[in-house]
A and B are shown apart, each in its own frame.
Chain A
Amino acid sequence: MLEAAPLLTVEGLAKHYQLDGGHTLKAVDGVDLHIGRGETLGLVGESGCGKSTVGKTILRLVEPSRGSVQLDGVEITGLSYAALRQQRRNMQVIFQDPYASLNPKMKAGAIVAEPFINYGLFAPRERTERVADLFARVGLRPDQMDRYPHEFSGGQRQRLGIARALALEPKLVIGDEPVSALDVSVQAQVINLMVRLQEELGLSYLFIAHDLAVVRHISDRIAVMYLGRIVEMAGTEALFETPSHPYTRMLLASVPSADARRGDRRRTVLRGEPPSPLAPPPGCPFHTRCPDAMERCRIELPKPRQMAPGHMAACHLIP
Chain B
Amino acid sequence: MTGAIATPTTLAFKRKRRSFRFLSRHLTIVIGATLMTILVLLSVCAPLITPYDPVALDLIHRLRPPSASHWFGTDNYGRDIFSRTLYGGRVSLFVGISAALLSALIGSVIGLLAGMFRWADAPLMRVMDGLMAIPAILLAVGMMILTRPGIPIVIIAITIPEVPRVARLVRSVVLVIREQVYVQAAVAIGTKLPRLLLHHILPNALTPIIVQVTYVCASAVLVEAYLGFLGVGIPPETPSWGNIISDGRTYVQLAIWIVLFPGAFLGTMVMAINMLGDGVRDMLDPRLARRL
- Determine how close the nearest CB of chain B comes to the CB of A100; give it in whole angstroms: 4
A115:B203 contact, CB within 8 angstroms: no
Q: Answer yes or no: B189 CB below 8 A from chain A CBs.
A: yes
Question: Is B186 located at the chain interface by the 8 A CB criterion?
Answer: yes
Find out whether the CB atom of B182 lies under 8 angstroms from the CB atom of A100. yes
Is A93's CB under 8 angstroms from B200's CB? no
Residue from A61, A105, A106 within 8 A of B184 (CB atoms): A61
Q: Are B181 and A88 in contact (CB under 8 A)?
A: no
Q: In this assembly, does A114 line the interface, its C-beta being within 8 Å of a C-beta of chain B? A: yes
A93-B185 CB under 8 A given contacts A85-B190, A88-B190, A118-B190: yes
Q: Is B189 a contact partner of A115 (Cβ separation < 8 A)?
A: yes
Residue A17 is within 8 A (CB to CB) of chain B in the complex: no
- A244 an interface residue at 8 Å Cβ cutoff? no
B188-A61 in contact (CB<8A) = yes
Tell me the interface secondary structure of chain A in the complex. loop
Is B264 located at the chain interface by the 8 A CB criterion?
Answer: no
Q: A104-B204, A105-B203 are in contact. Are A92 and B182 (CB under 8 A)?
A: no
Nearest-CB distance from A177 to chain B (Å)?
Answer: 12
Q: For A119, what are the chain B residues with a Cβ–Cβ distance below 8 Å?
A: 190
Bound complex: CA of A93 vs CA of B183, how far in Å? 13
Cβ of B245 to closest chain A Cβ, rounded Å: 43
CA distance A165 to B184 in the complex (A): 13
CB distance from B189 to the nearest CB of A (A): 4
Give chain B's interface secondary structure class: helix
Q: How far is the CA of A59 from the CA of B186 in the complex (A)?
A: 13
Is B185 in contact with A101, judged by CB distance below 8 angstroms? yes
Q: Mark A99-140, 1 if CB is under 8 A from B, else 0.
A: 011111110000000110111000000000000000000000
Question: Quick check: A118 and B191 within 8 Å, CB to CB?
Answer: yes
A104, B188: Cα distance in complex, Å: 17
Which chain A residue shows the least CB distance to B188?
A: A93
Q: Which chain B residues border A93 with CB–CB below 8 Å?
A: 185, 188
Q: Quick check: B189 and A101 within 8 Å, CB to CB? A: no
Q: 1/0 contact trace for A132-168 toward B, CB 8 Å?
A: 0000000000000000000000000000010011011
State how many residues of chain B have any CB contact under 8 Å with chain A.
17
On chain A, the residues within 8 Å of B191 by CB distance are 114, 118
Compute how far the CA of A59 lies from the CA of B199 in the bound complex, rounded to whole angstroms: 22
Write the nearest CB–CB distance from B128 to chain A, whole angstroms: 26
Q: Mark B154-190, 1 if CB is under 8 A from A, else 0.
A: 0000000000000000000000000011101111111
Return the contact of B189 from the options A97, A100, A106, A118 (Cβ within 8 A).
A118
Chain A 38-65, CB-CB to B under 8 Å as 1, else 0, gives 0000000000000000000001010000
**Complex contacts, B17 vs chain A, CB 8 Å:** none
Task: State which of A85, A100, A105 has its C-beta within 8 Å of the C-beta of B181.
Answer: A100
Q: Is the CB of A103 within 8 A of B204?
A: yes
Per the bound structure, the CA–CA distance linking A220 and B188 in Å amounts to: 25
Q: How far is the CA of A85 from the CA of B199 in the complex (A)?
A: 18
Contacts of B192 in A (CB 8 A): 85, 118
Residues of B within 8 A of A165 (CB): 189
User: Across the interface, do A97 and B185 meet the contact criterion of CB distance under 8 Å?
Assistant: no
Within 8 Å by CB of B200, from A61, A95, A103, A117, lies: A103
B184, B190, B204: the one contacting A115 at CB < 8 Å is: B190
| A–B complex contacts, Cβ < 8 Å, 23 sampled | A85-B190, A88-B188, A92-B188, A93-B185, A95-B181, A95-B185, A100-B181, A101-B181, A101-B182, A101-B184, A103-B182, A103-B199, A103-B203, A104-B182, A104-B204, A105-B204, A106-B203, A114-B189, A114-B191, A118-B189, A118-B192, A118-B195, A167-B189
B-side residues, CB < 8 A to A, are: 180-182, 184-192, 195, 199-200, 203-204
